[in-house]
């Protein structure tokens, strides 16, 4: 069975080429790598075009959610895997997620925080900034309370779905809140969800896109809260 690796990317010229090269080492001939260039203004697209992958080029920055939805529409694989375009996820762990899908799960989350302790620290403070970890865990706590779950990493971008299940969700989000929408709609659909521990590495080049927007974290938090309330009240 084939898999589609979808990577939304915006201004990652220093990371995307190496990431595609690494992903290529962990896929088969029937698999596909789909890179969605979300209106990059640097040399990201030039780096992508020199690699063997499918390029979706958005003429302006439409947002991570829009880019992910564009990739889903294009994907032909039986399984869909999402990764960030900053090189912080490890392509060697793709098969860890895929193995759990093949055991009967619909949605597998690569968790940065599952089974984390002093002797099993899978990331540095530069890979996951303390303020981002606090924000993620706060959002995850709220989601768990509202929906009666026990998720550890609601905002993980490294995840795997059965393709036909994912396409049932009819996603709407255009920006970072899509991670929350994916999770809540999967709850509502009663998907079999599994978390597995993964590593998170420090990015080599550039900065998080949340830094590029004034009050980026604050706006992100508001949109996520709106998505949580909308999911709780209206999604069934």
Q: Give the DSSP per-residue string, the chain.
A: --EEEEEEESS-TTTHHHHHHHHHTT--TT-EEEEEEES-SSSHHHHHHTSSSEEEEESS---HHHHHHHHHHH--SSEEEE--TTS-S-GGGHHHHHHHHHTT-SEEEEESSTT-BTTB----TTTS-HHHHHHHHHHHHHHHHHHT---S-TT-S-EEEEHHHHTTS-----STTHHHHHHHHHHHTT--EEEEE------SSS--GGGGSTTHHHHHHHHHHHHHHHHHHH--
Q: How far is 201 from 18, CA to CA, in rounded Å?
A: 14
* Confidence tier at 208 by pLDDT (50, 70, 90): confident
Total domains in the fold of the chain: 1
Instruction: Summarize the confidence of residues 165-174 as an average pLDDT.
Output: 96
pLDDT at residue 119, rounded to an integer: 45
* Confidence tier at 121 by pLDDT (50, 70, 90): low
pLDDT at residue 236, rounded to an integer: 82
Instruction: Give residue 28's domain range.
Output: 3-234
| CATH code of the domain covering residue 100 | 3.90.550.10
Q: How far is 36 from 75, CA to CA, in rounded Å?
A: 11
pTM above 0.85, yes or no: yes
Q: How far is 168 from 188, CA to CA, in rounded Å?
A: 11
């Amino acid at each position: 069975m084939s898999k589609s690796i979808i990577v939304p990317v915006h201004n990652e010229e220093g990371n995307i080429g190496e990431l595609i090269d690494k992903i290529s080492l962990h896929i088969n001939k029937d698999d596909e790598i789909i890179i969605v260039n979300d209106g990059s203004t640097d040399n990201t697209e030039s780096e992508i075009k020199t690699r063997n992958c499918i390029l979706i080029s958005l003429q302006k920055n439409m947002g991570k959610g829009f880019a992910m939805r564009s990739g889903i529409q294009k994907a032909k694989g039986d399984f869909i895997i999402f990764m960030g375009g900053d090189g912080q996820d490890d392509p060697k762990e793709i098969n860890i997620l895929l193995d759990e899908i093949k055991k009967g799960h619909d949605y597998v989350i690569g968790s940065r925080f599952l089974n984390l302790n002093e002797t099993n620290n899978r990331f540095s403070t530069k890979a996951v900034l303390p303020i981002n970890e606090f924000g993620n865990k706060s959002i995850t706590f709220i989601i768990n309370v509202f929906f009666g779950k026990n998720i550890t990493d609601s905002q993980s971008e490294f995840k795997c779905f059965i393709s036909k299940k994912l396409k049932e969700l009819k996603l709407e989000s255009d920006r970072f809140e899509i991670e929350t929408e994916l999770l809540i709609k999967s709850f509502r659909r009663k998907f079999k969800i599994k978390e597995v521990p993964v590593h998170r590495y420090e990015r080599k080049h550039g900065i998080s896109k949340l830094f590029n927007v004034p009050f980026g974290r604050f706006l992100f938090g508001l949109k996520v809260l709106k998505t949580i309330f909308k999911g709780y009240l209206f999604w069934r």
